[in-house]
Amino acid sequence: MTVLDDRIEMADESKGLTLDVLFEHLERMPVPEGYKVEIVEGAIFMSPQRDTHWEIIADLFEQLRTKYPRKRVKSDVRVDYPGQLNGFASDVTLVAEGATKADNGYWRCQDVQFVAEVISRGTAPNDYGPKKTAYALADVPVYLIADPYQGKCHLFTQPKDGEYISELSVTFGADVDMTNTPLGLTLRTDEFPRD
């Protein structure tokens, strides 16, 4: 068992609660259609999907699909991350070639090569804070935040000890050069809408 496996196991156990138990309870709740549900550090967050949010997600998905097969590009699919009860349904996730689901039926964070989050006002502190830390702890090589309120993308690379060493900010309209990352592509942002 690796250190990361230990962290994930610890993340699933807190006062008898596990991510599976919490998600089972959520599945029985009447969550409104069009809402995304995540558990960040044991707290449950529900946020509505907005047009701006969806357009950026769709654009990211389409651009990744020019290089990667559909089976590797995910959206709103649960992945458990290190930390205290972290079960995220990231806006866009790219899993490694040949990745397989764990015994629990979910993708393993060790196989995640890229994550993108599109900021929502109510959950922005999670994307810039505990989720960014969890992605770095999981050694996700490339983390992108698209912030329609700022009109900027923030690219985080080179995870080390729970932090990203490198950060690049790009205004919507300019390209995000990720050719020197494991993604090996340039992301266009000229059609990203602002809020």
| Alpha carbon distance 140, 157 (integer Å) | 8
**Per-range mean pLDDT, top range of 25-34, 58-67, 102-111:** 58-67
**What is the rounded average pLDDT of the residues 33-49?**
71
* 15, containing H or E segment: none
Interior/surface letters 118-129, b for 16+ CB within 10 angstroms, e for the rest: bbbeebbebbee
pLDDT of residue 24: 73
| Region 39-44 average pLDDT | 75
pTM of the model: 0.81
Nearest in space to 62 (alpha carbons), one of 98, 116, 105: 116
| C-alpha distance from residue 35 to each of 20, 160, 195 (Å) | 19, 33, 18
Computed from CA positions of residues 129, 65, 186, 180, in that sequence, does the dihedral angle turn out positive or negative?
positive
Q: What is the dihedral angle through the alpha carbons of 62, 66, 71, 77, rounded to the nearest 10 degrees?
A: -30
Q: Write down the pLDDT at residue 10.
A: 40
Q: Above 50 in pLDDT, residue 174?
A: yes
Cα 114 versus chain centre, distance: 8
Span 114-143, pLDDT tens digits: 999 999 888 899 999 999 999 999 999 999
Which residues are CB-neighbours of 83 under 8 A, at least 6 positions away? Answer: 7, 11, 41, 130, 133, 134, 137
- pLDDT tens figures, 49-64: 778 989 999 999 999 9
Query: pLDDT at position 122, please?
Result: 82
